[in-house]
Amino acid sequence: MRIGIIGAGHMARALGGGWSAAGHEIRYGRRDSIRAAVEFGDVVVLAVPVPALTEVLSQADFTGKTLIDCTNAFEPDDGNTVLGEDAVAERVAMLAPGTRVVKAFNLCAAEVWESAERVFEGRRLAVPLCGDDASALTQVEELVRDLKAEPVRAGGLNRARYLEAMSAFVVGLWFAGADARAALPPLEAAFAVPD
């Protein structure tokens, strides 16, 4: 796959490095080469700070692209982590009409993608995906598997805001030294039966 990654920072390099190792072609979009990276990619990843999104999305024609949004609108709040914005992926979809937006890769630190470890306590790392377009979700599922993780379809783009909130909440726990993973029972013990 040809993947344009907007941004050349920590997340861009972590994801791009993994995909490059899996055989994909990567072009990074730095400030002066955003348009070239967008034109190059069948899939385009937004790996910039949330405050940069409006400007970035105005700099090229993203029409027809699968757009992966891995951003988090984190803001510090008295030593904790909160969101400066509630529904970034939905705003991305509004700013870039004609694209197929998938929220993904916003939960784990870049260091996780840089490391080779994918199985923790016997379970493969899962990557929730939120998006409305089936073909785009299939493309992103392939990219998740190429990073040796397990994709999980988690609903439409209207649920991406929960994924964004989950990230802020979980990161807040981690930064406080609490194991967020311990707060959730495994599926078989979750009594996950709709009423």
Ligand X SMILES: NC(=O)c1ccc[n+]([C@@H]2O[C@H](COP(=O)([O-])OP(=O)(O)OC[C@H]3O[C@@H](n4cnc5c(N)ncnc54)[C@H](OP(=O)(O)O)[C@@H]3O)[C@@H](O)[C@H]2O)c1
From the CB of 171, what's the least distance to ligand X, in Å? 9
By CB under 6 A, the count of residues binding ligand X is 21
Between CA 121 and CA 30 the distance in angstroms is: 38
CA pseudo-torsion sign 25, 55, 76, 9: positive
CB of residue 130 to ligand X, shortest distance in Å: 14
Q: How far is CA 28 from CA 23, 70, 96, 106, in A?
A: 16, 15, 19, 19
Alpha carbons 90 and 158: distance in angstroms, whole number:
7
Residues between 69 and 108 with contacts to ligand X, criterion CB under 6 A: 70-72, 74, 106
* 163 near ligand X, judged by CB under 6 A: no
19 phi/psi in degrees, rounded to 5: -70, -35
**CB-CB neighbours of 7 under 10 Å:** 25
When binding is defined by CB under 6 A, the residue of 1, 22, 36, 52 that contacts ligand X is 52
Q: Whose Cβ is closer to ligand X: residue 83's or residue 157's? A: 83
Which of 5, 50, 57, 104 is in the footprint of ligand X by CB under 6 A? Answer: 50
**Choice from 21, 25, 35, 55 touching ligand X (CB under 6 A):** 55
Closest approach of Cβ 139 to ligand X, in Å? 19
What CA–CA distance (Å, rounded) separates 146 from 178? 30
What part of residues 111-130 is at the interface with ligand X (CB under 6 A)? Answer: none
Can you give the binding site for ligand X, defined by CB under 6 A? 7-12, 31, 47-50, 52, 55-56, 70-72, 74, 106, 109-110
